[in-house]
Amino acid sequence: MPETIGDYSPAPDLLRDKVILVTGAGDGIGRTAARTFAAHGATVILLGRTTQKLEQVYDEIEAAGGPQPAIFPMDLAQARIENFEHFAEAVDQEFGRLDGLLHNASLLGQRTPIANYHYGTWEQVMQVNVNAAFGLTKTLLPMLEKSEAGSIVFTSSSVGRKGRAFWGAYAVSKFATEGLMEVLADEMDGVSSIRVNSINPGATRTNMRAAAYPAEDPKGVTAPEDLMPTYLYLMGDDSSDVNGRQFNAQG
Q: Which residues bind ligand NDP (CB under 6 A)?
A: 24, 26-30, 48-50, 53, 75-77, 104-107, 128, 155, 157, 201, 203-204, 206-209
Of the listed 58, 170, 231, 233, which one is catalytic? 170
**Closer residue to ligand NDP in complex, CB, 65/219:** 219
Find the shortest distance in angstroms from Cβ 83 to ligand NDP. 11
Q: What minimum distance in Å lies between the beta carbon of 50 and ligand NDP? A: 3
Give the distance between the most distant pair of CA atoms in the chain. 51
User: Minimum CB separation from ligand NDP for residue 237, in Å?
Assistant: 24
Helix, coil or strand: residue 199: strand
Whose CA is closest to 42, among 242, 238, 240, 235?
Answer: 235
Q: Which is nearer to ligand NDP, 71 or 203 (CB)?
A: 203
Angle ∠(16,11,190) on CA atoms, nearest 5: 70
Residue from 219, 217, 240, 236 nearest 228 by CA: 236
Closer residue to ligand NDP, CB minimum distance, 28 or 100: 28
Has 170 been annotated as catalytic? yes
E strands in the chain = 19-23, 43-48, 70-73, 100-103, 151-155, 195-200, 246-248
C-alpha span between 17 and 203 (Å, rounded): 31
In the complex, least distance from residue 251 CB atom to ligand NDP, rounded to whole angstroms:
15
DSSP element (H, E) containing 93: helix 81-95
- CA–CA distance, 242 with 19 (Å, rounded to integer): 19
Residue whose CB is less far from ligand NDP, 17 or 75: 75
Active site amino acids: 170
